[in-house]
A and B are shown apart, each in its own frame.
Chain A
Amino acid sequence: MKIIVNGVEQEFNSPLTVTSLLHELNLRTEQVAVEINLNILDRSHFPNWNLQEGDKVEILSFIGGGSPQPKD
């Protein structure tokens, strides 16, 4: 099944929960926000939310930043 993660299309085995996606990507489940097709998924749903073919997943976390910086 193809899923777009942070703008990159990747192939995964189905079924795939958000928690297992984070594990496969070697990411922690705390201190990340997950947005699926522009909807934020509450952390409590990570273990039981099944991703679907073509889902656009954004995984975000905190990075260094202070005063606003110019657009990347």
Chain B
Amino acid sequence: MSHNLPHDPLIIAGREFRSRLWVGTGKYKDFEETRLAIEASGADIVTVAVRRVNITDKNSENLLDYIDPKKYTILPNTAGCYTVEDAVRYSRLARAAGVSDLVKLEVIGDERTLFPDTAGLIEAAKILIAEGFIVLPYTNDDPIVAQKLMDIGCPAVMPLAAPIGSGLGIRNPYNLKIIMETVKVPIIVDAGVGTASDAALAMEYGADAVLMNTAIAGAKDPIMMATAMRYAVDAGRLAFKAGRIPRKLYATASSPIEGML
């Protein structure tokens, strides 16, 4: 399908990306399934976490043997960080381990909802931006916070659709629409997508991209779902650009009246 699409790159901080579907690499059965699902998704940005290496199992495999950093843009996240200090520390470690200044910044506020601590997020983002990081912040569907993140220099903002891994879809379409209208950097809808229609809807609203992990990795057939998500994001993007018809209460005939008996 993709070869029929018009050239419509996503540009973030001067970098050009082809796909508008970003995917996480967690929760898969094994690295091979991860590789196949990512390939099927068509994504060119993949998120990873930063953790201690396993020093006891010397034969443990490395994710980046399966996800080639030359082929994909590796976007490290600060998942699991509940304080500004931790998020900054993990960002610096990610930069030291990797090849770029990109970080998907997460400062989590609560274990049960995994909602972002937006005050901590803004504070951490300021520190990292001053250190030259390209900060892509995972935030709540709050238009004011999204605006502030843009104002302090985030080149994209990543509001959630619903809690991480919940599969609830877009819980607050009106807030997301306001964010898309008011925040003049790319908006990546991140987290909470359950199935293809959720992703399509986010794109139809005008999101610049969608990031997901659980919706693909947790599906019965992750590789097939990755394909479905690829089509959904492409379809939603095309529909957004094509411009939908307005909703009307009553029918409008599509067949002409002239020529009837």
> Could you list which residues of chain A lie within 8 angstroms of chain B, going by C-beta atoms?
5-8, 25-28, 31-35, 40-43, 58-72
Which of B48, B53, B63, B190 is within 8 Å of A67, CB to CB?
A: B190
CB under 8 Å from chain A, chain B span 123-166: 138, 164-165
Which of A35, A59, A62, A67 is within 8 Å of B74, CB to CB?
A: A62
Contact A65 B52, beta carbon cutoff 8 Å: no
Which of B49, B164, B190 is within 8 Å of A63, CB to CB?
A: B49
Distance in angstroms from B190 CB to nearest chain A CB is 7
CB within 8 Å for A34 and B96 given contacts A6-B53, A66-B24, A66-B214: yes
Docked CA distance A6–B53 (Å): 8
Docked CA distance A60–B92 (Å): 11
14 of the cross-chain contacts (CB-CB < 8 Å) are A27-B55, A31-B62, A35-B93, A60-B97, A62-B94, A64-B25, A64-B28, A66-B211, A67-B213, A68-B164, A68-B191, A69-B27, A70-B80, A71-B111
CB within 8 Å for A33 and B28 given contacts A61-B62, A71-B82: no
Docked CA distance A33–B48 (Å): 14
Q: Does chain A have a CB within 8 A of B114?
A: yes
Give B66-98 as 1s and 0s: 1 = Cβ < 8 Å from A's Cβ atoms: 000100001011011010000000001110111
Distance in angstroms from A28 CB to nearest chain B CB is 7
